[in-house]
Structure 1
């Protein structure tokens, strides 16, 4: 006769039970395992979250997908081209990173290969380069709809029109579904970004949406120094974000208004990541969240649909101080909706490359979390062992 389902299996498979009830049941089961209670820290939260999402006592993270969206920003253009040159790097670097990704030699390419992660990169608005180059369509491909040349300078106008915001969100949804279909299903998905200037855009979005002081969200971004500190760039970013919010003189109306904020000071790749996260939520697929910019997209996705917060696994602590504000906002949204609050980012390694590098690097940790809840014996099982048999 088939074994009776365990109480945890019964709860997880019960469609009438909420995500929170399933998560709490999984946490109680993990408490009963052969280890001190809570001693596996973040692995316990991740294991319980995966079990609740997959509705099984043996969750898996073997089918891992990574979707990177890439786009350029008007505010990053040189001042001679109507931009504000907000980054230490010229805008052409965005395109060069995508070329390296297309050739399989970029950071995300190497990390995804060694961690068995399926990688796709979508150009939703990279500016044209001096030489015509067509993406292979294998790793890197053009979005079906994209922002030609990137966004506008948000210091002198809206970065995106309302129609463009919706279009980029839809692209994110479509590409997420497409990648999962190509893989025959995914049990964890990661989102990443490429776009010179997008730390400035993320800082502007957080400041606009939360009302925090601009100086608390601006960091060095892509730095040319080994320690990642560039006070001159930070000061310039603060001035640029203040200028942008002053221009959008009704900036107070952007508070808690994610769609309007995305249009005013957003980025095409950030909109697409938001769309991807909303789509992942429809499929109950966990999201390993990368650093500052991806956390900003996650915050916006949670503002649009608070239930997205149940999916989030914070993989890496960013060197950008604004990430803390985004995580705090997500935590507040989760708490207000009775959704279990996420643990703090798993890695604190000074990672700041972008390209989903932090979350790809965290995949083995997630697989360890799944193995723990799936295979670790209970304390009772261990105490009942008879030595020598």
Structure 2
């Protein structure tokens, strides 16, 4: 597997960036999370004048052998059908990417279907026709896992070379919440019964069956030496490719938009491989999928949004992107107390206006 060289974000500019934020014509902290976001983006780009360029979202799609166990409310062919929907522009992620001028690419990471050649918008990166059933053995071989990570890194490098400095990762794959639940249980050390959600809408009986399947699988694979071993055993081709994509994006110094439950599971693997990846990640929303809130809490991260979304596809990343634009805009364009000739807060907490009649306030 490729060895990534991720530099931790330097904090050399932190004091200057914070001073610039605090000097804007507002009370201290009045823009809340937008201030925190502006600081993080400035640190990632190592500048007091950050810019967002050519944003992309990659949706990785793949099938899962564990779907054979009836852990999803939808049949497996929905994976390839949804990929075609993405290609045709009809999914939620298409709508939001168009709305916010985000370039969207769909990646066939391992869908159990042969797509026609030369579909515009589809990146052909199939490793196999879906993973193996991890109730019967590891989902992926170590070679397949490494191939996923390396090939996704190449895709991200190609996008980076076109001037992209902010990238989000989405996914599509029937039964991938099952894989993500297993990874969550292992990385967060939380009982699997608390990690499993209803995914695409399981009823009570099917939900209990999903818990039983995962409980049995985790008992069968009870030794895990490394993050890569856990990923190979329970992951999916799309999850593994997101891991490689995140690591490569961080190596390039790109802003990484982390979507919901499955994308966050991929992040946990990437962070275990290289903890410095966290510096580059913005956690876009808290999925309404059961377990995601606990996952975020275990990692001590706070998402930008909580809209009760649980669609995947990178939709949370796309919806959150305008907040990055607002954070960068206020940092670069908002007047300071000095430039606007507005008095700053006094020691007693009172405020005064300058007598300059040209003051905007």
Match of 1:185 in 2: 163
Match of 1:204 in 2: 182
Following superposition, the deviation at residue 142 of structure 1 comes to 1.0
Which of 190, 212, 232 aligns to 1:263? It is 232
Following superposition, the deviation at residue 40 of structure 1 comes to 1.4
Higher helix share: 1
Q: Does the Cα contact within 8 Å between 2:288 and 2:308 map onto a contact in 1?
A: yes
Secondary structure, aligned partner of 1:192? strand
Following superposition, the deviation at residue 306 of structure 1 comes to 0.6
Secondary structure, aligned partner of 2:105? strand
Following superposition, the deviation at residue 141 of structure 1 comes to 2.4
| Pair 1:22–1:321, CA change in 2 (3 A) | farther
Secondary structure, aligned partner of 1:58? coil
- Answering whether residue 75 of structure 2 is matched by residue 90 of structure 1, we say yes
Match of 1:49 in 2: 40
TM-score normalised per structure 2: 0.89
Counterparts of 2:296 and 2:208, CA distance in 1? 24
| Pair 1:23–1:134, CA change in 2 (3 A) | farther
Which of 240, 243, 250 aligns to 2:216? It is 243
- Answering whether residue 150 of structure 2 is matched by residue 159 of structure 1, we say no
Match of 1:218 in 2: 196
Q: Does the Cα contact within 8 Å between 2:105 and 2:122 map onto a contact in 1?
A: yes
Following superposition, the deviation at residue 17 of structure 1 comes to 10
Match of 2:246 in 1: 277
Q: Does the Cα contact within 8 Å between 1:73 and 1:150 map onto a contact in 2?
A: yes
- What are the residue-to-residue correspondences of 1:1-389 with 2, within 5 Å? 19-76=10-67, 83-128=68-113, 133-134=115-116, 136-143=118-125, 146-181=126-161, 184-223=162-201, 230-250=203-223, 253-254=224-225, 257-331=226-300, 342=301, 344-382=302-340, 383=342, 386-388=356-358
The unaligned stretches of length 5 or more in structure 2 are 1-6, 344-353
Q: Does the Cα contact within 8 Å between 1:168 and 1:268 map onto a contact in 2?
A: yes
Counterparts of 1:73 and 1:170, CA distance in 2? 20
| Pair 1:39–1:234, CA change in 2 (3 A) | farther
CA deviation digits over 1:119-141, x for unaligned, max 9?
Answer: 1111010002xxx6415442112
Secondary structure, aligned partner of 2:107? strand
The unaligned stretches of length 5 or more in structure 1 are 1-15, 77-82, 224-228, 332-341
Secondary structure, aligned partner of 2:307? coil
Counterparts of 2:34 and 2:165, CA distance in 1? 16
Following superposition, the deviation at residue 329 of structure 1 comes to 4.2
CA deviation digits over 1:46-92, x for unaligned, max 9?
Answer: 1111111112222122421111111000001xxxxxx2111111110
Counterparts of 1:379 and 1:166, CA distance in 2? 53
Following superposition, the deviation at residue 24 of structure 1 comes to 4.8
Query: Number of aligned pairs?
Result: 341
Runs of 4+ in 1 over 6 A off after TM superposition: none
Counterparts of 1:22 and 1:300, CA distance in 2? 29
CA deviation digits over 1:141-190, x for unaligned, max 9?
Answer: 211xx332100010110000000110001121011112233xx2112100
